Structure 1
Amino acid sequence: MLAFRRLVTKLLKETKFFSRLYVLYSWCLISILKIISLGKTKKTIMFVSYGGKQVSDSPKRIFDLMQLDPFFKDYRLVWGVLDTDKYSEMGYDVVKMDSINYFRTCISARVWITNSGIKRYTNMKGNRTFFVNTWHGIPMKKIGKDEVSVKKSPLFQKKWEEFATADVNLYYTDYDYKILKHVFNANAESMKRMGLPRNDSLYEKANTDKIRQQLGIPSDKKVILYAPTVRGNQTESNGSNDFRVPIHLEKWAKELPNYVILFRAHYFVNKVLEDQNKLFYDVTDYPSLNELMQVSDLLVTDYSSLIYDYSILQKPIFCYAYDFDAYKAYQGLYEDDVDKKVPNFIQTEADLIDAIKNVDVKSEKRKTHSFYMRYIGENTRDSGKRVLATIKEAIQ
């Protein structure tokens, strides 16, 4: 089923005939469902995270806060997910993504909360629907209509148009404000400097001993979190995106015997082509990315937005850009001098190993703090509470 879904997505993205057929179908379906609903809204709040792949990220943080707030006790809090069995067994109220029930629930919902899109290329937002787009990170790589692949696809351009109808689009500083406002085609009033709710817990103390125990990390080992972004140019013809870890584990085990690697793949990656061993832990499915950040001693990433989130922790950051020129040519980056902006820009495996072996934590903390002030800034804590207050003011 997942392979079929990936193939359909690829066809919609790359084939004008299929994309136009889908737009016609969805327009007819939504029009019928809107007529049936009579324009009425219910006390329902719809959550979608990463296209229904997870119950996570900023929508989950807002969901948790709503469950504790008496204001929302009469509201139905429902998640759009791909795997309804998995999440219903975990106690969540769920609907199947892209089902008629999903569209019906969205049309009648009073509030939408998503980090990656909810409208599924349709025109189903009602006049009384309050739409919160948290997005899922500060962009280093080009996104949306700035991507070459999106420019070629009328349907995927339409996907990005949905954020122009959001009542709230979140950002951190002038850097991501300019990018997101442009990509979302958003009006200035919808842009709210509240940061990302998912990052609130990074300011809180974590029980790292418990997390280490859950992950099976030996007490005498330091922890490297390796979290690269997806490579769109590695996508197969069937839409699958498999990732082979670009490091030699035998060499790392020899050169860095006091470390283990927690590997976290991007949510677009379908398969990690590496076996788990005493050095390498595939934690892609671990439910809390924030806990992985908190338990780690340093971050190795590349063009992922995680590089900005991690700066909150004031720990060493290494940007391992082994394919920098190729990636910049294929995907594009928003800053030409990103190699001078990140705390440590490294292009070879040997240099990366050497940098980790000789890391000066105090010096790196100063670098990370400077990076944090540039892209995150002060007064961005308690994002979830501020978003919640904005929603309550809009719907009460």
Structure 2
Amino acid sequence: MPRFSVIVPCFKVQGFLRQCLDSVLDQSFRDIEVIAVDDCSPDGSGAILDEYAARDDRVRVLHLEENAGLGRARNAGLPLATGDYLFFLDSDDTLTPGALRAMADRLAETDGPDVLVFDYARTYWWGGTRRNVLARVLAQAGDGTFTAAGHPEILDLLMVVWNKVYRRDFVEREGFTFPPGYYEDTPWTFPVMFSAERIAALDRICLNYRQRRQGNILSTTSRKHFDVHAQYERVFAFLDARPELAARWRPFLHAKMGEHCLDILSKPDRLPPSDRAEFFHRTTEMFRAHRPEGAAVPAGLRVLEGSYAAYRVRRQSGRAARELERRTRPALAAAAGRLRRTASTVHVRRPLDPDLVVYSAFSHRGVLGDPAAIHRAARELAPHLRGVWVVRDEESAADPALLPPGTEHVVLGSAAYRRVTERAAFFVNNVNWPGTVAKRPGTVHLHTHQGTPLKHMGVDLLDRPGARHGLDVPQMLRRADRWDHSLVASRYAERVWERAYPCHFTSARTGSPRNDALVNAGPEDGRRVRERLGVPAGHTVVLYAPTRREYRRGGLVERLDVARLAADLGEGHTLLVRLHPSLATGPARGLGLTELHRRGVVVDATDEPHVEDLMLASDLLITDYSALMFDYALLDRPILIHAEDWGPYSATRGTYFDITEEAPGHVSRSYRELAWLLASGAWRDEEAARLRGSFRARYCEYEDGRAAERVVRTLLLGEPMPAPEPSGVPGARAVPSGRDLLPST
């Protein structure tokens, strides 16, 4: 008996069907059967199904003699299912890699619930991807099982059949089937969720929900949308037959029905104009007929107690108000801009404050990176200097990890922000200041950058159209024209920044202030971080830090299966995973990382604000092309470069040198090579030490542990201080653990 029966109804999907079937059959979890139902499709879908069935005995094809529609096609596949769980997959959608394994693991962990609800992402025809906006509902569901009554927020999710799997004996016992019609998911999902005694949630993106350019069938203009009334009548009839459920769920269903019908009516492309009044009247009749006795009508649904004419007046007045706002918004914004410019002109006449330093990092995220290191040194060496941080919002200001208590700050765009940026003598940032910050004569702008660059930056992106998508390079250079000093960690970095940003700044050979913590750290620093992250004592810690890809929309390319790597590392090892910051809020973590972190398979360290802490806590860095390698080399701990896609990456993004030829350690071109390097011990052999020593001498020559002090003394106070001597790195330490990272094979 297979674990999953995947039922795939097919009708006019020949362009998408192979991708759908491949996403199922290529899963690492193979204990499945696929029941493909050819719903008398007039295209080549049936032949494609027969082709797959001929080469994979897990596929069974049912050809219907007449077109039955989506719901009844699913019903046709039900009697053939023998799996523990039913999964109804639409034939133009796809599973994400590892989805079935994650589902199977979660089902086992929760001891076989009636229903497992998982997450999905919308994938658009133009290449964009957007995660379900209510993904938090799954994360908040907890580790165990629950009922819909115990966690009613689960019903706020899209009520469709394909974001869940269902225990087959539960479905058979309750007699659930699909009716015909447009909205056939409604009388399935609500009864299922109302009846299930044990529901589990999986906070992982398991399915890509394809958004076709022409939209789905529910976005077409047709009288078939009247079907929604009949489908809700079926759900009300289900509750009428189950008084124990009706008492709890009738008010909810009554409101949900009203919201759903009004949503259909609000879409201008759903109903023919001549049918809109009839649809409204049918909705109001149903709304009155099923209104629970004594129940209050929510404010948003009170329109269903009135006439269609009143509804139209309300809709038209709402549209008129929005149109007026749209038309007046530019004029209001222009007036506000004139007021700000007038105020700025007045304030610019005020004298500069020679002791005022304004700091920002990572687009006003908080006290981080090189600016944070400079600020700390300035408070110690020059306490008379007043340091003020710019933060993006009050939420950032309330996070002590981003803004330590007692740190003076202003919120971006506020009146206080304008006052300090108009009078400050010094500006310190690792990204460009907004264009609204004018450079006054006498001010000094220090640009720290965010590390030593491997990939092309600035004007070098002009011949890389894919890499500079969404970037205005000329504007970037106009903002860089405000720089007075560009901090560099090596002569290599100096040459690159002067080439990438042809502006009138002076390169300051100071080293990178944030890296003082790496050069000067003692063994206790890494130990404290390990304890905070929950790493067991004595574990070997591997930090995996991949960068984003410009050749893939969204930037995410999974070149390494972290679950497999964690399993291969085995006992006595902890795998820290840190995604590129630009991927932290996208769908990347929902594709498995969040779930692996919850289960303790890996530690998702993407949100750790101080990446230097992660470096100190780790024994080995595995990366592809992240600039983190230049900093990590200061620790004199092993680095492995996993360069499986070096060709497409270097061709699309552009790089200043070939990292596979001048690597800080051994290079792998496949997972097999990476596994061998770990298992054999080559990751820490003499050749690895030689490679990182050469790399460190070339790219870290000014990193002597006194960079922050040097910036404060020479650039803020104007005092003399010796420049760093180009050399190796003092105080470097070897890996504390002597173990191999993978068992020898």
TM-score by length of 1: 0.83
Using the TM superposition, give the Cα deviation of residue 373 of structure 1 relative to its aligned residue in structure 2, in angstroms. Answer: 0.5
Using the TM superposition, give the Cα deviation of residue 85 of structure 1 relative to its aligned residue in structure 2, in angstroms. Answer: 3.3
Matches within 5 A, 1:160-171: 160-171=477-488
SS in 1 for 2:621: strand
2:506 alignment counterpart: 190
1:201 alignment counterpart: 517
2:372 alignment counterpart: 60
1:19 alignment counterpart: none
| Structure 1: runs of 5 or more not aligned | 1-9, 11-23
Q: Residues of 2 paired with 1:213 and 1:294: CA distance?
A: 12
Q: Residues of 2 paired with 1:26 and 1:301: CA distance?
A: 47
SS in 1 for 2:547: coil
Larger CA deviation: 322-331 vs 89-98:
89-98
Residue type of the alignment partner of 1:314: D
Q: Residues of 2 paired with 1:141 and 1:104: CA distance?
A: 37
2:694 to 370, 375, 388: 370
Verify: 1:227 aligned to 2:545, yes or no.
Answer: yes
Q: Residues of 2 paired with 1:206 and 1:129: CA distance?
A: 40
1:300 to 611, 622, 625: 622
Verify: 1:136 aligned to 2:450, yes or no.
Answer: yes
RMSD: 2.8
Q: Residues of 1 paired with 2:653 and 2:679: CA distance?
A: 31
2:714 alignment counterpart: 390
Using the TM superposition, give the Cα deviation of residue 89 of structure 1 relative to its aligned residue in structure 2, in angstroms. Answer: 5.6
1:179 to 496, 506, 525: 496
Instruction: Give the share of equivalent positions with the same residue, in percent.
Output: 24
1:110 alignment counterpart: 425
Matches within 5 A, 1:331-342: 331-335=653-657, 337-342=658-663
Using the TM superposition, give the Cα deviation of residue 55 of structure 1 relative to its aligned residue in structure 2, in angstroms. Answer: 1.8
SS in 2 for 1:50: coil
Verify: 1:350 aligned to 2:641, yes or no.
Answer: no
Q: Residues of 1 paired with 2:336 and 2:624: CA distance?
A: 37
Residue type of the alignment partner of 1:312: L
Matches within 5 A, 1:31-70: 31-37=341-347, 38-42=349-353, 43-69=355-381
Verify: 1:87 aligned to 2:87, yes or no.
Answer: no
SS in 1 for 2:426: strand
Using the TM superposition, give the Cα deviation of residue 100 of structure 1 relative to its aligned residue in structure 2, in angstroms. Answer: 5.1
Using the TM superposition, give the Cα deviation of residue 159 of structure 1 relative to its aligned residue in structure 2, in angstroms. Answer: 2.1
2:640 alignment counterpart: 318
Is 2:515–2:703's contact at 8 Å kept on the other side of the alignment?
Answer: no
Deviations for 1:361-387, whole angstroms, at most 9, x for unmatched residues?
242222211110011125643000000
Residue type of the alignment partner of 1:211: V
Q: Residues of 2 paired with 1:143 and 1:281: CA distance?
A: 31
Q: Residues of 2 paired with 1:330 and 1:25: CA distance?
A: 43
Is 1:206–1:291's contact at 8 Å kept on the other side of the alignment?
Answer: no
Deviations for 1:37-80, whole angstroms, at most 9, x for unmatched residues?
114223421111011123210100011112223x333x432111
1:256 to 547, 553, 569: 569
Residue type of the alignment partner of 2:351: K
Is 1:172–1:194's contact at 8 Å kept on the other side of the alignment?
Answer: yes
Q: Residues of 1 paired with 2:514 and 2:569: CA distance?
A: 32
* Structure 1 residues 393 and 223, CA gap change in structure 2 (3 angstroms): same
Deviations for 1:138-172, whole angstroms, at most 9, x for unmatched residues?
10011122223576778442123322331211112
Using the TM superposition, give the Cα deviation of residue 25 of structure 1 relative to its aligned residue in structure 2, in angstroms. Answer: 9.9
Using the TM superposition, give the Cα deviation of residue 285 of structure 1 relative to its aligned residue in structure 2, in angstroms. Answer: 1.8
1:217 alignment counterpart: 535
SS in 2 for 1:110: strand
* Structure 1 residues 300 and 89, CA gap change in structure 2 (3 angstroms): closer
2:331 alignment counterpart: none
Q: Residues of 2 paired with 1:121 and 1:279: CA distance?
A: 44
Using the TM superposition, give the Cα deviation of residue 254 of structure 1 relative to its aligned residue in structure 2, in angstroms. Answer: 3.5
Using the TM superposition, give the Cα deviation of residue 303 of structure 1 relative to its aligned residue in structure 2, in angstroms. Answer: 1.5
SS in 1 for 2:582: coil
Using the TM superposition, give the Cα deviation of residue 195 of structure 1 relative to its aligned residue in structure 2, in angstroms. Answer: 1.1
Is 1:84–1:94's contact at 8 Å kept on the other side of the alignment?
Answer: no
Q: Which has the larger radius of gyration?
A: 2
Q: Residues of 1 paired with 2:674 and 2:566: CA distance?
A: 14
Deviations for 1:247-298, whole angstroms, at most 9, x for unmatched residues?
2244323421142211112222224231214331111222321121111111
Q: Residues of 2 paired with 1:386 and 1:165: CA distance?
A: 21
Q: Residues of 2 paired with 1:100 and 1:349: CA distance?
A: 53
1:265 to 579, 603, 616: 579
Is 2:511–2:702's contact at 8 Å kept on the other side of the alignment?
Answer: no
Using the TM superposition, give the Cα deviation of residue 304 of structure 1 relative to its aligned residue in structure 2, in angstroms. Answer: 1.4
* Structure 1 residues 152 and 263, CA gap change in structure 2 (3 angstroms): closer
Is 1:201–1:290's contact at 8 Å kept on the other side of the alignment?
Answer: yes
Is 2:566–2:575's contact at 8 Å kept on the other side of the alignment?
Answer: no
Q: Residues of 2 paired with 1:259 and 1:244: CA distance?
A: 25
Q: Residues of 2 paired with 1:319 and 1:65: CA distance?
A: 34
SS in 2 for 1:307: helix
2:49 alignment counterpart: none
SS in 2 for 1:72: coil
SS in 1 for 2:445: strand
Is 2:641–2:668's contact at 8 Å kept on the other side of the alignment?
Answer: yes
TM-score by length of 2: 0.46
Q: Residues of 2 paired with 1:183 and 1:383: CA distance?
A: 23
2:387 alignment counterpart: 77
SS in 2 for 1:191: strand
Aligned residues: 364
| Structure 2: runs of 5 or more not aligned | 1-127, 129-333, 720-745
Q: Residues of 1 paired with 2:531 and 2:369: CA distance?
A: 23
Is 1:30–1:124's contact at 8 Å kept on the other side of the alignment?
Answer: no
Residue type of the alignment partner of 1:40: P
Q: Residues of 2 paired with 1:65 and 1:27: CA distance?
A: 37
Is 1:169–1:190's contact at 8 Å kept on the other side of the alignment?
Answer: yes
Larger CA deviation: 195-204 vs 244-253:
244-253
* Structure 1 residues 215 and 134, CA gap change in structure 2 (3 angstroms): same
